[in-house]
Amino acid sequence: MSAKAPIVVKVGGGALKGGALEDLPSILAGGTPVVLVHGGGPQLTRMLDSLGIESTFHEGLRVTDAATLEVAEMVFAGGVNKALVRGLGGIGVPAAGISGTDGPTILVEPVPELGRVGEVSSVEPALIEALWSGGFVPVVAPLGLGPEGAYNVNADSAAAALAVGLGAGHLFLLTDVDGLLKDGEAVASLGPEESEDFVESGLAAGGMVPKLRAAALAARGGVRARVLNGNKKGVLSGALSGEDVGTLVYEGGAACRQ
């Protein structure tokens, strides 16, 4: 095992298209352990539509009944996870796909208003550490183990919980914009308590809401969390080398107020 603090990277279901993950071989060569957590919401929605199962959302989070969960496990732990693992192999990254129920790695408590959706209660690092020891990058599908079996877990929240539970130095939340935008510019840094202020003011909306909340969760756990544009090559290496990219959320961060 490396003495370097690990990093956790949260990516979308089509993550390799953007180019940000092309930094991973050099990061791994430097001895930093890496975990990827992926989403796959659009792929799940397409599959549900094809099966005639309606998608419902509450504050940006998917409401998951038993039928939706069955499809989610198939899409997340199956198609999306394995395609990402193959893609990583194609750029020289030895990867192994798991879901949070394997090990188990992610334990959850149910979120009543969302059906079979879980909120992470604890992280068990043994399986991820075993994969690191073997030289692999774990690629984690956003599912967790709870009282009734598998639960859908918001991928941003899962990544934040894993970052804290694994003692990560950094959490990188990749998206398709340059960070939290204010007046067209990325907010350079903010404290975790300010994340909710941006949500309540409406400056953060849609998919940025769970990202900011996940970043705040990680920051409170001692992790430097950063929302980055995954469509820009070099952002991961740049962030690790101290460049001012994206929006950094950490204890002590402060947004510039006008």
Token pair 């001895």: residue:
31
41 is catalytic: yes
Could you tell me which of 20, 78, 9 has the C-alpha nearest to residue 44?
A: 78
Q: Which of 10, 97, 115, 178 is catalytic?
A: 10
Could you tell me which of 252, 246, 241, 236 has the C-alpha nearest to residue 190?
A: 252
Q: Which of 12, 39, 40, 41 is catalytic?
A: 41
* Cis amide linkage into residue 125, ω under 30° from 0: no
Q: Are 179 and 186 in contact (CB under 8 A)?
A: yes
Task: Characterise 84 by phi-psi region: left (phi > 0), alpha (psi -120 to 50), beta (else).
Answer: alpha
156 is catalytic: yes
In angstroms, the CA 254 to CA 242 distance is 17
Q: Are 77 and 99 in contact (CB under 8 A)?
A: yes
- Which residues pair with residue 170 across a beta bridge? 7, 224
253 is catalytic: no
Q: Which of 115, 118, 146, 211 is catalytic?
A: 211
- Which residues pair with residue 90 across a beta bridge? none
DSSP code of residue 80 = I
Could you tell me which of 157, 42, 29, 168 has the C-alpha nearest to residue 100?
A: 157
Q: Which of 12, 115, 156, 230 is catalytic?
A: 156
Could you tell me which of 145, 106, 146 has the C-alpha nearest to residue 122?
A: 106
165 is catalytic: no
13 is catalytic: yes
Enumerate the active-site residues. 10, 13, 41, 156, 211
